[in-house]
A = this chain, B = another copy of it.
């Protein structure tokens, strides 16, 4: 499994936890922040709401974060990394190209169903933390382009404009996750992924 260069838990600078217990508290704060921001939105969310949900003292919050803005940015990075890790875990070894993209989409649809608040939080970053919003999508597109480059090397995907293709695949996955993950679970994830596999394998045109 590939490792991500970003640290798993991002506290404010100089406030990184040094013990397992500290990392556990930081994890609790991030999980509580996901609920608080997901339910209330950035403006209505509060630090006291986060510590109440986490079951920690207010002082613990400031041990790791400087502000509400700081934990929101850390949460966006944390969620961005969860999406990346879910994709890595879904990748069968020795499989490239279209079949690999199908597996990753199917796993992402399941992930979106299990983590519905992620859309609201990342989408709100467009307003509350534009730099993190842009970084989330630029990083995800770069990972997809790297997968496509590898698949071209493996002779599974035709050479082409992998940057444009990556942004297209990312957009597909984001909107399919919204439609068939967050909004409506009535269609089997495998069925949606199979339709996209067919599209990516053969295109749409009658030959």
Contacts from A to B (Cβ < 8 Å): 41, 43, 97-98, 120, 123-124, 126-127, 134, 137, 141, 148, 151, 155-158, 160-161, 164-165, 167-176, 178-180, 183, 191-192, 195-196, 198-206
Contact = CB atoms under 8 A, between A and B. Distances in A.
Contacts of A120: 126-127
Contacts of A168: 172, 175-176, 196, 199
A175 B164 CA distance: 10
A160 B203 contact: no
A77 B173 CA distance: 25
Contacts of A160: 195, 198-199, 204
A163 to B, nearest CB: 9
B158 A195 contact: no
B164 A171 contact: no
Contact of A206 (B41, B156, B165): B156
Contacts of A176: 164, 167-168, 171
Given A156-B206, A199-B203, A201-B205, 8 more contacts: A137-B178, A158-B202, A165-B195, A167-B175, A168-B199, A170-B175, A171-B175, A200-B204
Contacts of A43: 43
13 contacts: A43-B43, A97-B205, A137-B179, A148-B204, A156-B206, A158-B206, A160-B195, A164-B180, A164-B195, A168-B172, A168-B176, A171-B172, A199-B200
Nearest to A123: B126
Contacts of A178: 137
A19 to B, nearest CB: 38
A3 to B, nearest CB: 27
Nearest to A155: B206
Contact of A202 (B97, B124, B167, B205): B205
Contacts of A169: 172
